[in-house]
Amino acid sequence: MATTAIAVGTMKAAQVSNPGADFQIVEREIPKPGAGHVRIKVQACGVCHSDVLTKEGLWPGIQYPRIPGHEVSGIIDEVGAGVSDWEKGQRVGVGWHGGHDGTCRECRRGDFNNCRNLQIPGISYDGGYQEYMVAPAEALVAMPDTLNDAEAAPLLCAGITTYNSLRHSGALPGDLVAVQGIGGLGHLGIQFAQKFGYEVAAIGRGSENSALAKKLGASV
């Protein structure tokens, strides 16, 4: 009896084959989302210093080869069984929080970031250094149309880190807030702090970022 072969699409991905290895650009089959998961067509993925945890094998239990990347913006390409809150074509992001079990004590208290079985894209499963990635539905955040993908991607880790630091700092509008290190996180911290109404002091090792810091909202 004749059989019909079904062509499987392929994609490019940047993977680490083992701890400490160089990145490899490889061809992989485009993954299928399982139950409770969606497939995302990646539009942009930020490069975070924490990706070194995967690159160098500094996080216990990583299974290799592994594709890093946890600052992902993209479009839902396919929805797995049991997913009702998301649909194909929606713009979404995935950050450091890559899924939780919903059953542990911390999850029952609503403290999902401290889930005992927290998943992290690029560590627990393949992240955004690829053309398509699969993620649990609970890891997704909606992306407004007014935000482009390249600007949105770093907000999923660096952005939320600085935003939450300021939000929980106890500072009030008009207070002096210092942002130390005007790099990937610091340049976002200045902007958030300025919008919060703080007087912002930018601190760096040299004067080369002074003009940028003031343009972003630093007072001094």
In the chain, the domains with their CATH numbers are 10-146 (3.90.180.10), 162-216 (3.40.50.720)
The pLDDT value given to residue 1? 56
The pLDDT value given to residue 8? 67
Q: What is the pTM of this model?
A: 0.90
From first to last of its 220 residues, the chain has per-residue pLDDT tens of 555 555 569 999 999 999 999 999 999 999 999 999 999 999 999 999 999 999 999 999 999 999 999 999 999 999 999 999 999 999 999 999 999 999 999 999 999 999 999 999 999 999 999 999 999 999 999 999 999 999 999 999 999 999 999 999 999 999 999 999 999 999 999 999 999 999 999 999 888 899 999 999 999 9
Contact 136, 122 (CB under 8 A): no
Query: Peptide bond before 65: cis, by omega within 30 degrees of 0?
Result: yes
The whole-angstrom separation of Cα 32 and Cα 78 is 8
Burial 112-146 (b: 16+ CB within 10 A, else e): beebeebbbbbbbbbbbbbbbbbbbbbbbeebeee
What is the three-class DSSP state of 108?
helix
Round to the nearest angstrom and report the end-to-end CA distance of the chain: 78
The pLDDT value given to residue 7? 58
Contact 173, 198 (CB under 8 A): yes
The whole-angstrom separation of Cα 16 and Cα 59 is 14
AA letter at 126: D
The pLDDT value given to residue 206? 85
